[in-house]
Amino acid sequence: MSEIEIEYLASKSGNRLGFKKREGKSPTLVWLCGFHSDMAGQKATAMDEFARENGLASLRFDYSGTGTSEGKFEDGTISKWLSESQEMIDANTNGDLILVGSSMGAWLAILLAMANCERVKALVLIAPAPDFTEDLMWVTFSDGVKAEIMEQGYWMRPSPYDAVGYPITKALIEDGRNNSILNKSIDYDGIVHILHGCRDADVPWQRSPKLMENFGSNNVTLTLIKSGDHRLSEPQDLETLRRVLRQTVRTIL
């Protein structure tokens, strides 16, 4: 496996954002990380390796406050990370794109596709979590947690993926409402392939058929993985991802 050096982009937010760019032919595969995740994860690495094996260009990066990028995680919002993602795409890609988004990254991928519909030829959405700040966070919080967020500005949420937990801020919740997409039709006509594990304890798989119906495109496929959890990082899950990427690239080319 050929290793790519980390580069940095000076973003409009004032933070240097780490990214890895692989040169190759179009379409460019762009990875969009999940909440509190980074570009070093297994799925992101698998996508980049697929690009290498097939001579395709690829781009993966860390949002501000995560991984190799500067900034504080608690300063992040959907709008801020969306803006950074657009900056990365504008600065580091040309031509057709396939956006591959995991969890929160799928939400960003959909928003990016609607804003860049001529360039984004396909979406591969893994355990997609659009509107999670409202549906999977705010409405599930106790009155006490809600009060703490509103009065203090944040609440430290326990996480099985982080011993310390991570902050859920008032800004994140309120900004998420401004980017909601599940309450309206998604104006995107390209290829969409959704992957979701039936054992996902973080984002219920039952949300994906509903998301599927929101797309204006008729070219939407949903693959449910019976044994899959939220991460979908087991060897068989990564092989499914590679298969979907292979099919998607062939369809575009």
What local confidence, expressed as pLDDT, does residue 66 receive?
A: 98
- Helix, strand, coil percentages for the chain (3-state, nearest 5): 40, 25, 35
Residue 10, pLDDT score? 98
Q: Taking Cα atoms as reference points, which of 93, 96, 37 lies closest to residue 45?
A: 37
Residue 53 lies in a domain: yes
* 100 within 8 A of 128, measured Cβ to Cβ: no
Let me know if residue 68 belongs to a domain. Answer: yes
Domain for residue 174, yes or no? Answer: no
Active-site positions read 103, 200, 230
> Is the peptide bond prior to 128 cis by the omega test (within 30 degrees of 0)?
no
In the three-class reduction of DSSP (H, G, I as helix; E, B as strand; rest coil), residue 118 is classed as coil
Q: How many CB atoms lie within 10 A of CB 247?
A: 15
Residue 56 lies in a domain: yes
Its domain, for residue 55, covers 7-130+184-252
Percent of the chain with pLDDT over 70: 99
Residue 115 to residues 101, 119, 126, 154, 233: CA-CA distances in angstroms? 16, 9, 20, 30, 29
* 1 confidence band (pLDDT: 50, 70, 90): very low
Task: Look at 72-81, 162-171, 188-197 and tell me which has the smallest mean pLDDT.
Answer: 162-171
In a domain, 159, yes or no: no
Q: Kindly state whether residue 193 falls inside one of the protein's structural domains.
A: yes
- The CATH number assigned to the domain holding 220 equals 3.40.50.1820
Query: Structure tokens of 235?
Result: 């060897």
What does the pLDDT look like over 69-111, one tens digit per residue? 999 999 999 999 999 999 999 999 999 999 999 999 999 999 9
Q: Does 213 fall in a domain?
A: yes
Mean pLDDT over each residue of the chain, to the nearest integer = 97
Question: What average pLDDT score do residues 45-59 get?
Answer: 98
Q: How many domains in the chain?
A: 1
Global confidence as pTM: 0.96
Q: Give the Å distances, CA to CA, from 163 to 158, 166, 170, 175, 205.
A: 8, 9, 22, 26, 26
Cα gap 207→204, rounded to integer Å? 6
Query: Per-residue pLDDT for 2 more than 70?
Result: no
Nearest one of 243, 123, 249, 124 to 190, comparing CA atoms: 123
Q: What is the pLDDT of residue 199?
A: 98
User: Residue 156 has what pLDDT?
Assistant: 96
Cross-strand pairs, 192: 123, 220
Q: Predicted confidence band at 188 (pLDDT cuts at 50, 70, 90)?
A: very high
Please give the residue that has the higher pLDDT: either 225 or 13: 225
- Say if 140 falls within a structural domain: no
Q: pLDDT tens across 10-50, in order?
A: 999 899 999 999 999 999 999 999 999 999 999 999 999 99
